[in-house]
Amino acid sequence: MKMKSNKRRGFTLLELLLAISISALVLVSAYSGLRLGWVSYQRLDGQIQSYQSGRSGFFRLAKDLGNSFLFDAGDDSRVAFSGTQGEMSFATLVRSKNKEGITYIEAAKVFYKFEGKNLLRAFLKGKALLNPGLEPEYEVFLSDLTGLAFSYASRESAGPSSLSWKDSWTDKTMLPAAVRLQLTQAQKGLPPVTLLKSIRLTNISLR
């Protein structure tokens, strides 16, 4: 009777060890699956945030360019469009608020500059835009950039499909037909995202 009891205990212990081993394997597999899913979610969420950030920046930039104009006061106070691959400045219309919190539209000179891994933005409003000696205070507009380039299209082109792009704009008498922005944005541990957008401009001059 004692021998049979010992055999049953040994068999039961073996089953218990097997059950524990199987449970451990199941838990490890489940943890690995959850961890992989969480890492994938973080990457996807990061890519979505990076894409949304880029799109939001494109929208703001397109709005500034869409409201751009040439300001010619007939003297040294002319505000012309100027652009290179890494910098751009022009006169535009922006929203402002007075001391009472009332929103109004006013003229401003907007500056964009690619520096380090950031696209910076600054502006001079009102009478300040006519003072060429004032230095604007830049703020980070877009971050985590690994590359950025502005390019400019001439109005001599016949149509959108035949636009001729160049890396700079120096003509002080007119606006470019369009501005193209190509940027590459990357967050740590994520593949880079490249966005490309062209914005058409209307040639408006204020005197």
Compute the Cα dihedral for 150, 155, 160, 166 and give only its sign: negative
Q: How far apart are CA 112 and CA 119, in angstroms?
A: 7
Query: What is the arithmetic mean of pLDDT over 137-164?
Result: 81
Residue 132: both structure tokens together: 């060429």
pLDDT level of residue 154 (50, 70, 90 thresholds): confident
Residues 6+ apart with CB under 8 A from 147: 182, 183, 184, 194
The H or E element that residue 23 is part of is helix 2-66
Return the pLDDT at 184: 87
Residue 41 pLDDT grade (very low, low, confident, very high; cuts 50, 70, 90)? very low
Average pLDDT over residues 21-32: 67
